[in-house]
Amino acid sequence: MADTSLDPSLDPSRMPPSLWADTAFPAPLSSALAPGDHAADLIVIGAGFTGLSTALHAAERGARVVLLEAAEIGWGASGRNNGQVIPAMTRADPDVIVNAFGAEKGEVLVSLIGGSGNALFELARKHRIECAALQNGWIQPAHRASRMALAQSRFEQWKKRGFDVELVDRERAWSLIGSNFWFGGWQNLTGGHINPLAFVRGLARAAQAAGASIHTRSPVTDIARVGDAWRVSTPQAFVSAPRVLIATHAYSGALAELGAASPWPALPNTLLPMRSYQLATQPLPPELRATILPHGHAMSDTHGDLHLARFDETGRLLTGGALIVPFGYESRLRKRLAARLVRMFPQLEGWPLRFDYLWHGNFAVTPDGLPRFATLGNGLFAWMGCNGRGVALSTALGPALTETLFANDPADSALPFEPMRRIAAHSLVKRTAIAAMMVYRWRDARD
């Protein structure tokens, strides 16, 4: 069990301290599920983008939805990420997805991913969610001349499918990013950034307004088949419904201290949780701020050890990274990422850069970089494996997951659902997965 007494990012009894926790509007009121037996049409487990977008869309079609969250709304990855709205996956490019899932379902998934930026911003507008949404594009610059081939290939794969993308040469990348550290790249003009905690809280408010019952402090401890329904247990109550969505993603099995080891014990064996650290500087002075990402882009480059940046509304520069050894991360990360930011944006040299915020969270990786859509039983589903790109995708999945959950035959789902795929030798692979970062760093400097 994790010792949460030293690290507030691990403590499920409160929201992890972060820039977002200090700037998002308060969460809508919610309480633990009242003791007793309850019934619903749909039970959703987990109040992140996936759970709340699905709860919202299901409630909008008149379903009785009960959502159970172990901690708080947005306590998982959804409330603590970098807020980059990226309509693409990290490694799984469109052709890879179509190869893996077949022409029909693969292309549906590719369209969903490619359209996920528009879907998220449209939802924010529709429900008037004040989340500092800025849809001015997401750019992926190439950190070596050789990575322009990858940028070109990604651009072509999206372009041929009709998405709003652009291949950018070195000059143009320089003008969009404000640095000649990169060699060019590609951008998706429908991407952007948000305050993710504000957005997830806004989704919760919209779901409640549509009639969904959201219960925080309600860890799910067990899911059992009883007759024609699933009986879901929390420490104080039960809910029964014919369909259940497990939307616990990288936090599946991570909340043992709440008695919620994993409501579906095999689920954690299907993914590798990866820790990502997030940092935000003090606000930059306007004249300096105007020289970096001058059009307000979100940016994450082609490094395996990702170099990323975006601004918030007040001119704080946000970045993030991973560490191979997590111990003593505070001081090492501050030094390492300050030096990296200066390399990325030399105009920061000599400015007294400090990080006002540092926090971390987990996202779910799969060995092949592909997302997983798992059928766990009759009417029981989960999706996992955002591989670090789930802000837009988890949100955009809400309508398609709702369709699947209420379909007469889930085999008709437009999404590539399949039986759960466990990772062989999971505990060993999980322990060694972070070592992949060493390989990424080695490759980053060579190919």
Ligand X SMILES: Cc1cc2nc3c(=O)[nH]c(=O)nc-3n(C[C@H](O)[C@H](O)[C@H](O)COP(=O)(O)OP(=O)(O)OC[C@H]3O[C@@H](n4cnc5c(N)ncnc54)[C@H](O)[C@@H]3O)c2cc1C
Name the CA radius of gyration of the chain, rounded: 21
Closest contact distance (angstroms) between CB of 158 and ligand X is: 16
Contact pattern for ligand X over residues 391 through 430, marking x by CB under 6 A: xx-x------------------------------------
Contact pattern for ligand X over residues 188 through 227, marking x by CB under 6 A: -------------------------------xx-------
Residues binding ligand X: number (CB under 6 A):
43
Write out 153-219 in H/E/C secondary structure: HHHHHHHCCCCCEEEECHHHHHHHHCCCCCCCEEEECCCEECCHHHHHHHHHHHHHHCCCEEECCCC
Closest contact distance (angstroms) between CB of 261 and ligand X is: 8
The stretch near ligand X (CB under 6 A) out of 62-70, 224-232, 401-409, 435-443 is 62-70
Within 8 A by CB and 6+ apart from 266, the residues are 420, 422
Phi first, then psi, for residue 425 (nearest 5°) are 50, 45
Helix 148-159 to helix 94-101 angle, to the nearest 10 degrees? 60
- Per CB under 6 A, 232 contacts ligand X: no
The stretch near ligand X (CB under 6 A) out of 65-73, 101-109, 173-181, 372-380 is 65-73
- Per CB under 6 A, 321 contacts ligand X: no
- Per CB under 6 A, 318 contacts ligand X: no
Closest contact distance (angstroms) between CB of 389 and ligand X is: 4
Residue closest to ligand X, measured at CB? 390
Say how many residues make up the chain: 447
- The secondary structure of residue 423, as a DSSP letter, is P
Phi first, then psi, for residue 441 (nearest 5°) are -65, -40
When binding is defined by CB under 6 A, the residue of 11, 20, 75, 292 that contacts ligand X is 75
Residue 110: closest CA among 98, 122, 123: 98
Closest contact distance (angstroms) between CB of 310 and ligand X is: 8
Contact pattern for ligand X over residues 348 through 367, marking x by CB under 6 A: -------------xxx----
When binding is defined by CB under 6 A, the residue of 118, 240, 278, 413 that contacts ligand X is 278
When binding is defined by CB under 6 A, the residue of 18, 213, 276, 302 that contacts ligand X is 276
Q: Closest CB to ligand X among 151 and 397? A: 397
- The secondary structure of residue 81, as a DSSP letter, is S
State both tokens at 70.
Answer: 């172990």
Residue 76: closest CA among 197, 195, 218, 251: 251
When binding is defined by CB under 6 A, the residue of 201, 217, 249, 297 that contacts ligand X is 249
Residues 118 and 86 sit within 8 Å (Cβ to Cβ): no
Residues 378 and 419 sit within 8 Å (Cβ to Cβ): no
- Per CB under 6 A, 45 contacts ligand X: yes
The stretch near ligand X (CB under 6 A) out of 79-87, 146-154, 339-347, 373-381 is 79-87
When binding is defined by CB under 6 A, the residue of 50, 187, 302, 413 that contacts ligand X is 50
**Interactions with ligand X, residue window 368-397 (CB under 6 A):** 386, 388-392, 394
When binding is defined by CB under 6 A, the residue of 16, 51, 106, 398 that contacts ligand X is 51
| Strand stretches in 312-379, DSSP E | 316-321, 355-365, 372-377
State both tokens at 156.
Answer: 């072509």
Closest contact distance (angstroms) between CB of 129 and ligand X is: 15
Burial tier of 193 (Cβ tally within 10 Å: 0-12, 13-18, 19+): buried
The stretch near ligand X (CB under 6 A) out of 77-85, 87-95, 124-132, 336-344 is 77-85
State both tokens at 58.
Answer: 């299901």
- Per CB under 6 A, 68 contacts ligand X: yes
Residue 129: closest CA among 19, 24, 23: 24
Q: Which residues bind ligand X (CB under 6 A)?
A: 45-51, 68-71, 75-78, 80-84, 86, 219-220, 247-251, 255, 260, 263, 276, 278, 361-363, 386, 388-392, 394
